Amino acid sequence: MCVILEGGEDEKRVGLIGGVFVPPPNFAAVEDFCIYRSGFPQPSNFPFIQSLNLRSIIYLCPEPYPEENKEFLRLNKVKLFQFGMEGTKEPSAIPRSAITEALKVLIDVRNHPVLIHCKRGKHRTGCLVGCLRKLQNWRLSSVLEEYKHFAGVKWRESDIRFLDEYDASCIRYSLQSIIYRYYGSRKRRLLYGGEESVQKPRITSGKEISSRNQPTKEKRSDNSLPNRLMLFFRMKLLKKRRKIHLCCLLTNGR
């Protein structure tokens, strides 16, 4: 089940309390400037949440959202997506269909910046983030390491089993996933000056450094979906121009 709450027209804003931004518990950036995770935000966290300029919140608990939080979302024009999941240790408590639907909302760039939260930002939030990491082709060991980092000593074997068995390929070729991957690669190119992938720095020898500084021919791939679409529209425009030019020649010939 998904509940969507859209922001109202009221332009009021919640003020800063005590001059200090207080983040929700277990807060962290999953992806800088677009995807965040945390525990349940309290009113004291509203100024910090407001500073993130969120477009949407993904709420993973079955309990109704507090009216005070709803009002804050209305004032700041933030959408609420609710996917009710029970916070028990039973493996069946995490419905795959709900996780998949939440993942589709999460990777939809129209909803960014987005905050994911449950009660404590550990188990349900950790499972959704772990499924996102599998979609991003992370190794399972890295996925589980991140999950355990936020879950702490209370990590659950049922969650580990769920992450191990979840198949992210069911949405890998969905429209949201294709746009998300293109948007992410484009953003990385802007941030890192054309590098397609970012690797950890390593110690290199003088020979490697000298050879790396030599100019190399840049390789470009024209087989991506945006390039094919651009080529298609360019060809249509060229044909239209030729048709107009031919009509002008026929008219002048008369």
Catalytic amino acids?
118
Supply the DSSP string of 154-173, one letter for each residue: G--HHHHHHHHH--GGGTTT
Classify each residue of 136-166 as buried b or exposed e, where b means 16 or more C-beta atoms within 10 Å of its C-beta.
eeeeeeebbebbbebbeeebbebbbebbeeb
Token pair recorded at residue 57: 């919140």
Where would I find the H helices in the chain? Answer: 46-51, 67-75, 96-107, 123-135, 140-151, 157-165, 175-191, 206-212, 225-253
> Residue 115 phi/psi, 5° resolution?
-115, 130
